[in-house]
Amino acid sequence: MGNTTSSAISKEILEDLKLSTKFTETEICQWYENFQKQCPTGRITPEEFEEIYTRFFPEADAKGYARHVFRSFDTNDDGTLDFKEYIIALHMTSTGKTTRKLEWAFSLFDVDKNGYISKTEVKEICQAIFKLIPPEEQKKLPEDENTPEKRANKLWAFFDKKDNGKKKHMHTCTM
């Protein structure tokens, strides 16, 4: 309360993040400090996110993938990532539980956010992922997944089998 622009993280967000990630309070506070230093506005833009990715994959063309990842974590669809969305992203891409990762994978693949994954969407993501893999690493991939197309076909078969990968519970709404 009050009008102090304290740099401390709000208790609500902290509790929320402790529940939804495995990060400790100290870790979250540290992330928050870093976040504030890097993003004084408190929001990460798609361009800034691309830069972060490019730093992680200096040799690769990470832009396409970064854009997809950004979209999948912008849960409130406002075109920026706030601290909470950013931490969930971090958590999910590093240490997340398998079930959570699958949920995230779903939103990563659901490019148009319509609640379904189409084969075109699977191909699009596979192409973006392949751009992250250096050519010499690509050569080491198993024969049945050494091109974006093969990878997409394999994944598509997997989604198809699981069936729940294709569909997602949608709120009853008029489309």
Which spans of this chain sit near Ca ion (rule: CB under 5 A)?
74, 76, 78, 110, 112, 114, 116
- Give residue for tokens 């849960």: 75
Indicate the residue type of 132. L
Question: For Ca ion, which is the closer residue by CB, 50 or 110?
Answer: 110
CB of 142 vs Ca ion, minimal distance in Å:
28
First to last CA, the chain: 40
DSSP code per residue over 121-155: HHHHHHHHHHTTS-HHHHTTS-GGGSSHHHHHHHH
Question: For Ca ion, which is the closer residue by CB, 148 or 165?
Answer: 165
CB of 95 vs Ca ion, minimal distance in Å:
22
Question: For Ca ion, which is the closer residue by CB, 78 or 137?
Answer: 78
Query: What is the Cα gyration radius of the chain?
Result: 18
Question: For Ca ion, which is the closer residue by CB, 30 or 120?
Answer: 120
Tokens of 69: 């990842």
